[in-house]
């Protein structure tokens, strides 16, 4: 494969050098920010050697080349166009300029919560290990190992506002360490910890006529998000007027004081109320509508993925996990069924099509979807052909209805498909079995629906 030749062919099909704003790559896709996506010749790009699909999503035009190829094509494209090697931050800023306000908001939430996924997954797995130790009586609950693991498993949720504060400040263009400080204020040891002391009554203090409850925000999501956004505005405003000579002393000092007071008086109570309303509303819908809610959400999720709005769901899932009243993620199994159904439809396309290039995309796309990565299956196969995407929506809805009916839940977020078994297992083998049955329903019904609906063969 001549990568420089591919880059030469690709540039005019993207609308020319002047149409390309920024280019980076991930493990499988070339990610481009373009001035005008209407200038793109989609069909010609998809026919290029090595291209396994192309699509526009969330402010970027993405071309799928696959692992080991995409980085070489990217390097050739940079040489061909004279583009500077864009850093991820620069590229993401360019992406935001191409997005509408709703998509921009969803992308911001994704950028905040995705880096926290490893901590949440680790906590979920530790909770599962604790559950197994208790269920099988491996050690007593007062054993040192059990007590230490209990501390390890709950730590991420106790300091969640600090983690979010750091990540959110980076996203909002503020000092991330000041964001962590605001999170630390909300989880200060002097405040009652509602995560571990649910039955205790908080003390109150009078501040300029306001009665403030001395209760912490451990395990909350919305208050710290609003507080750090407010903090970023305060910090940026101060930097415009404070002389450079005293900026290091004055700006952090005033930022922390103003944000801290305003958070305790207004943002904290309001944010807690908003977070509780979101979580309780979703739980009520889940309890009342049950499988119907699963059918609808599972059927629509892949369509939401196309818009990019699904990035915002991490914040909601983190709120469910952090809630003492809920404490589980009942949305993730629904999303997982929608994802694996895309794999089932792509697998049917692989077996049914005679197009060799489509086969080369469909099979790896299907297995990628089974592992929770759906872009190759959605954009490289199912959405291009139309009816397989509809078939996947049918499979996703049916699989989701089953897992909701069987009350399959997870104790983390960020993993779907086969890897999600690790965060379902802590709730027992019965839930694992129901998850696998839902998986089979989603994949099988999407596969069958693709065969029944058929699709128009590409030339």
- Total residues belonging to the chain: 459
Whether 26 is catalytic: yes
Contacts of 91-98 with CB under 8 Å at 24 or more apart are 91/22, 91/23, 91/24, 91/31, 91/33, 94/21, 94/22, 94/33, 95/22, 95/33, 95/58, 95/59, 95/60, 96/59, 97/33, 97/59, 98/33, 98/34, 98/59, 98/60
Tell me the Ramachandran region of residue 327: left when phi exceeds 0, alpha when psi lies from -120 to 50, beta otherwise: left
Find how far residue 209's CA is from the centre of its chain.
41
Q: What are phi and psi of 221, to 5 degrees?
A: -125, -55
Distance CA 459, CA 451 (A): 19
Torsion of CA 65, 67, 72, 73, to 10 degrees: 10
Q: How many Cβ atoms from other residues are within 10 Å of residue 368's Cβ?
A: 21
Catalytic residue among 4, 9, 11, 26: 26
Which are the catalytic amino acids?
26
């Amino acid at each position: 494969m001549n990568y420089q030749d591919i880059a030469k062919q690709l540039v005019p099909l993207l609308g020319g050098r002047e149409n390309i704003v920024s280019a980076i790559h991930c493990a499988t896709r070339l990610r481009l920010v373009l001035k005008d996506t209407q200038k793109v010749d989609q069909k010609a790009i998809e026919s290029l050697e090595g291209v396994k699909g192309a699509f526009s999503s969330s402010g970027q035009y993405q071309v799928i080349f696959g692992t080991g190829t995409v980085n070489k094509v990217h390097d050739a494209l940079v040489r061909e166009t004279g583009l500077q090697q864009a850093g991820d931050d620069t590229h993401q800023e360019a992406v935001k300029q191409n997005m509408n306000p709703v998509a921009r908001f969803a992308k911001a939430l994704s950028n905040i919560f995705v880096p926290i996924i490893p901590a949440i997954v680790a906590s979920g797995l530790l909770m599962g290990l604790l559950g197994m130790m208790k269920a099988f009586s491996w050690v007593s609950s007062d054993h040192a190992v059990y007590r230490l693991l209990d501390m390890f498993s709950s730590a991420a949720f106790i300091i969640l506002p600090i983690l979010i504060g750091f990540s959110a400040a980076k996203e909002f263009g503020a000092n991330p360490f000041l964001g962590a400080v605001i999170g630390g204020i909300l989880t200060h040891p002097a405040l009652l910890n509602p995560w571990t002391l649910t039955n205790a009554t908080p003390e109150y203090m009078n501040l300029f006529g306001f009665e403030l409850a001395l209760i912490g925000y451990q395990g909350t999501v919305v208050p710290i998000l609003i507080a750090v956004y407010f903090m970023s505005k305060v910090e940026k405003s101060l930097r415009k007027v404070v002389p450079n000579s005293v900026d290091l002393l004055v700006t952090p000092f005033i930022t922390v004081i103003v944000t801290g007071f305003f958070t305790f008086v207004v943002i904290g109570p309001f944010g807690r109320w908003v977070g509780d309303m979101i979580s309780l509303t979703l739980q009520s819908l889940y309890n009342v509508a049950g499988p119907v809610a699963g059918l609808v959400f599972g059927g629509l999720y892949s369509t939401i993925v196309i818009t990019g709005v699904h990035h915002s769901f991490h914040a909601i899932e983190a709120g469910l996990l952090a809630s003492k009243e809920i404490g589980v993620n009942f949305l993730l199994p629904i999303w997982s069924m929608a994802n694996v159904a895309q794999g089932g439809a792509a697998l049917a396309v692989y077996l049914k099509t005679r197009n060799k290039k489509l086969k080369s995309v469909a099979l790896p796309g299907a297995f990628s979807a089974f592992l929770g990565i759906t872009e190759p299956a959605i954009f490289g196969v199912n959405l291009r052909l139309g009816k397989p995407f509809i078939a996947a929506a049918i499979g996703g809805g049916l699989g989701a209805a089953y897992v909701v009916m069987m009350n399959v839940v997870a104790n983390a977020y960020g993993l779907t498909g086969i890897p999600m078994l690790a965060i379902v297992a802590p709730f027992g083998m019965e839930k694992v079995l129901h998850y696998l049955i839902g998986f089979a329903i989603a994949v099988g019904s999407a596969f069958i629906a693709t065969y029944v609906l058929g699709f128009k063969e590409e030339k």
